[in-house]
Structure 1
Amino acid sequence: MHNSHLFRVFDFAIMFRRRWSALPEDPVFPSDIKKLGYFIDTDDEIHKIGDPSFYFKYFLTKNERVNDRQRFHFNGKCHCSPPPAKFTNPITEAIRDVVHERLENLGMKKTLLPLGTPATSPNVPIFTSSNLSTASRVVVIFGEPCQDLGNVALRVANRSGGIDKGSMVSIVRELLKQRSSATDPSPPGIILANAGELWWWPEGQKPLSPVSACAVPMASMVHHGRAHNPKVHAIPKNEHPLAHIQYVLDEAIPAITAATASLDIIGIGLSADHIMKALDNRGTFNAIGKRISTLSVIGCSTSADELSHEPLKDLLVRRGRAYITDEAAAMTPVAKPGGNPNTASFTQHGCTVFSSGEVYYIELMLITSRVPILAWLEEVAKAGPDYRHPEIVPINPPMPTDEEWAATTSGFDKMWAEMPEYAKPSIGYAVPKEVAEQAKALEELELHMEAQAQKQHGIDHDNDEEEQLLQRAER
């Protein structure tokens, strides 16, 4: 009986053995909008084939890995080579490829950084216009570090608004309508930098953004993911967004643009902060600062107090603009270069501040005010080297008068007084368990010392007083 019992236990252990091959396979999707069940309608919006009233659906299942893998291919990331047999022609119309094709049709071409790097080695692509080497004015746009090259806001490209509006396609089209200067009717050169796709994917032979890097194919659905290995995943001189921006300013722009071309620099979100930090470098500003015609920071959080290079501060006052999220209408003047203490918004940018017309999302600011933001670049270019940003009169947000505030809040006290006690919310403080235990121990020690002191002085207590001390100690 004893041996039989041992055999049963041994069999039981073997029964629940799990092999690596038994792990669930990582989901695979085609990088094709049609095969994923969607189509692009006449308004340039993506809708579901089965029900055109629906846009792209991220929450395909309750499994986050499945949802991320679908989004990975929906946004246009190709399968690793070779692709699964059932998807032998995986890339045709995913969003990334649609955007890149449209940009190329507008005369943009990809340039790999570091310059001279072959496509098979770690590199980061940027888009440059065909007239870049001869243009007298060049517009350089640094998108958010979380976005793929060519995208501005996927919440627009994937949904209401359409692909052109939610991508750099609409930005490039607007810039191609402009003159380079009062004497040069040709459009400006354009550089679309790539501060997002800086994680090299060896199997796919392409760089990925942080979101896409977390959704690359894995050995199984339940693997933890890939650790960042600088020897494998880092791109030389472009290891992170600040390094990429520094490389573009220090090496790429001088190499691929005319030495006499003026520069209009636009930064969005964290890229705007990185631009300020890069230009605050004396060497960088001395090399490129004299060429900067305008500096536009969109959704920037860098304070002028953080800057130390005086020529940069002077440039911000003369030819800089900051655009912020604000409830005011688009292009409402919010603050002078010194800021505006009468608004709750951050305005210490060191330059004139305008409302973007977007209340919440930084990624929507350039989309919301695309035309006026870009029109200012042309205005400065036509004005020439003597341009200085005009003084503005900030429009402060409306503040209620004492009478209006009293009328609004007068009923609160009455409502509170009439409210029954059980309905009033209790007010307390969240105290960590360790702190609460320490406080209780100190209180008990204090009570004990108080009792000992009273005994030493010969003070007698009746039973009620002793019981009161015990109750306090228990609390």
Structure 2
Amino acid sequence: MFRRRWSGLPEDPEFPTDLEKLGYFINEIDEIRSCADPNLYFNYFIDKNSRINDRLRFAFTIAVDDIIHARLTSLGLDRLALPVSVRGDDSKPQTPIFVTPDLAAKKRIVVVFGETNQDLGVLAHRVIARQGGINEGSMVSIVKALLAKKGSNTNTITANDDEKATRKNAQDATNDTNSNSTNEKDEEVGIILANSGETWWWPDGKRALCYRQSMNAKMESAAHKGIAYNSAVHGIPGNEDIDAHVKCVFESILGNPEFVGSCLGSQEQEGTATVQVIGISEGAIAAEKYLDENWHRWSRNVGCLALIGDGLAIGEVKNESFKQFLAKKARAYITSTEDVGTPIANSTGNTGTLTFTNYGCPVLASGENYYSELTLIKAKGHVIPWMSKVYKAGKTYVNPVMDITFCDESYAPTTEWPEDWVENVKKKRGEAEQKDWEKELQEDKDRDKDQKGHSVQQSAEQEATNLDHSKDTWQVHVAEHKEQEMKHKTVDVDAAAQTIDMQAHCKDAGDEDDGAKAFV
């Protein structure tokens, strides 16, 4: 009998987690190129077997992550494990974040919640491994922009040309990002880079992975279907998903005097630091949900909120005070074909477009047409200066009312209809319905007539058939009766003949008896 042993299954392919050993290098413009051909970027399709390709990308991603983390560390950020209770023990399930080491001394703290499908420090792999490079496609560019002083050259950070051009109808919205005093220096900012994606603990590698990476982690063999999630093995306490992670960051870091040194998130006392939140896609939704449910704790400390790529619909927000905050001190940057910074809607939305704009806050174009992961990369030249302006203005800042000229090209607002338009429509509709009803009625009558005529014809045919059948039956019956009568008559004649014969025989017998007597 055929039997395959476990040792006979093909091994899961293994690749080195080093960029040079994988055959790639970083060129002078910070882009990853192939050592074999410097004109080529990262090549995923090295084999017809998708498992081999996925394992290659797994190793490539880890190599890139290590480079990004090293650059973030060089910018002065420290790597911190969550939950806080596992610090110092790398063998226990944990997810890392990056924080400014002297967070307690900062008056302004910016928290960034990314997408759930990205690793820590990554904005878009399509930029990291393609045109743009590592810094542009990661949080390195965001941290540099936050730490940059006013007057420094930020063009190297926002390298895309379409971020430098704005439409005339966006001028009112962009002027407020440049109207700061030239003598006033930006306050030093504390930074927290949350880890919305890496909530899956990999025991073999002793590191947290995002969902995509967890599907490409090493298995017992290449024939296995995957690694089944086990909460006891792969779950990270207090960081099981993005909602739990957002709560952990707010309550274990921002609400912890050990890190911030002030009473943030307290209902009794107002903390000394101002928290500004940037949320990207799912990160924006999770941050909004948490603040909506806990606004009574954080209303004194949260200074502004930037929703990048997505956000909650205003109808889903329950806290009325938080709704007012969104209208006054929040902005949404969405995917749009318009130039970056173009006003799309005020806090009440825009009825002139089919694009969803009911976020409860002003909505602007991010400069990205399709991909939400590129929105912060394209719009950071507008988002970060706006957040700086909000901080300097303090509690007095209120979103200016923007002049909205944006409208879908193929969509025009409905003009006012004539007063008798409704009556005319009803009249025409009534006439049409009357004609349709009469037509249906006539069709029903014709159908009934045809059915009736067909029924009469069928009845006549049936009666004729029955009559013919009855006639045939009667004739047969008469013939049978006559035949029976003839049989009875024949029997009667035969019986009469037999009787006569019997009488004659008896007579002959009597004559013989008389003769005998006479002889005697």
CA distance in 2, matches of 1:334, 1:342: 10
Please point out which of 360, 370, 373 is paired with 2:370. Answer: 360
Over residues 235-273 of structure 1, what are the superposed CA-to-partner deviations in whole Å (9 max), with x where a residue is unaligned?
A: 111111111112212332111224211011000011111
Q: Does 1:136 align with 2:107?
A: yes
Q: Does 1:395 align with 2:405?
A: yes
**Aligned equivalent of 1:267:** 279
Output aligned runs, 1:45-444, within 5 Å.
45-76=31-62, 94-117=63-86, 118-178=89-149, 185-255=186-256, 256-259=259-262, 260-281=272-293, 284-397=294-407, 399=409
Over residues 348-398 of structure 1, what are the superposed CA-to-partner deviations in whole Å (9 max), with x where a residue is unaligned?
A: 000000000100000001101112111101111111221111111112235
Which amino acid is the alignment partner of residue 42 of structure 1? E
Bigger proportion of residues as helix: 2
Give the 3 Å change call, closer, same or farther, for CA 141–459 of structure 1 in structure 2.
Answer: farther
Q: Does the aligned pair in 2 maintain the 1:178–1:378 contact within 8 Å?
A: no
**Aligned equivalent of 1:80:** none
Which amino acid is the alignment partner of residue 229 of structure 1? N
Give the 3 Å change call, closer, same or farther, for CA 458–304 of structure 1 in structure 2.
Answer: same
Output aligned runs, 1:429-468, within 5 Å.
457-460=455-458
Q: Does the aligned pair in 1 maintain the 2:15–2:59 contact within 8 Å?
A: yes
Aligned length: 378
Which amino acid is the alignment partner of residue 198 of structure 1? T
CA distance in 2, matches of 1:332, 1:357: 8
Give the 3 Å change call, closer, same or farther, for CA 59–318 of structure 1 in structure 2.
Answer: same
Give the 3 Å change call, closer, same or farther, for CA 218–170 of structure 1 in structure 2.
Answer: same
CA distance in 2, matches of 1:18, 1:232: 29
Q: Does the aligned pair in 1 maintain the 2:108–2:187 contact within 8 Å?
A: no
| Greater Cα shift, 128-137 or 154-163 | 128-137
CA distance in 1, matches of 2:128, 2:249: 27
CA distance in 1, matches of 2:408, 2:344: 12
Over residues 264-317 of structure 1, what are the superposed CA-to-partner deviations in whole Å (9 max), with x where a residue is unaligned?
A: 100001111111111110xx2122221111100111142101111011101101
Q: Does the aligned pair in 2 maintain the 1:123–1:200 contact within 8 Å?
A: yes
CA distance in 2, matches of 1:459, 1:21: 84
CA distance in 2, matches of 1:37, 1:296: 39
CA distance in 1, matches of 2:409, 2:19: 49
CA distance in 2, matches of 1:103, 1:69: 26
**Aligned equivalent of 2:470:** none
Give the 3 Å change call, closer, same or farther, for CA 319–222 of structure 1 in structure 2.
Answer: same
How far residue 157 of structure 1 moved from its aligned partner, in angstroms, is: 0.6
TM-score, normalised to structure 1's length? Answer: 0.76
Aligned residues: percent identity?
41
CA distance in 2, matches of 1:199, 1:454: 76
CA distance in 1, matches of 2:331, 2:187: 25
SS of the equivalent of 1:322 reads: strand
Q: Does the aligned pair in 2 maintain the 1:197–1:210 contact within 8 Å?
A: yes
SS of the equivalent of 1:59 reads: coil
Give the 3 Å change call, closer, same or farther, for CA 459–210 of structure 1 in structure 2.
Answer: farther
Q: Does 1:24 align with 2:10?
A: yes
Higher RCO (CA 8 Å, separation ≥ 6 residues): 2
Q: RMSD in angstroms over aligned alpha carbons?
A: 2.1
Which amino acid is the alignment partner of residue 80 of structure 2? T
TM-score, normalised to structure 2's length? Answer: 0.70
How far residue 178 of structure 1 moved from its aligned partner, in angstroms, is: 4.3
Which amino acid is the alignment partner of residue 294 of structure 1? C
Bigger Rg, which one: 2
Over residues 51-93 of structure 1, what are the superposed CA-to-partner deviations in whole Å (9 max), with x where a residue is unaligned?
A: 11110011111111111100111011xxxxxxxxxxxxxxxxx
Q: Does the aligned pair in 1 maintain the 2:149–2:185 contact within 8 Å?
A: no
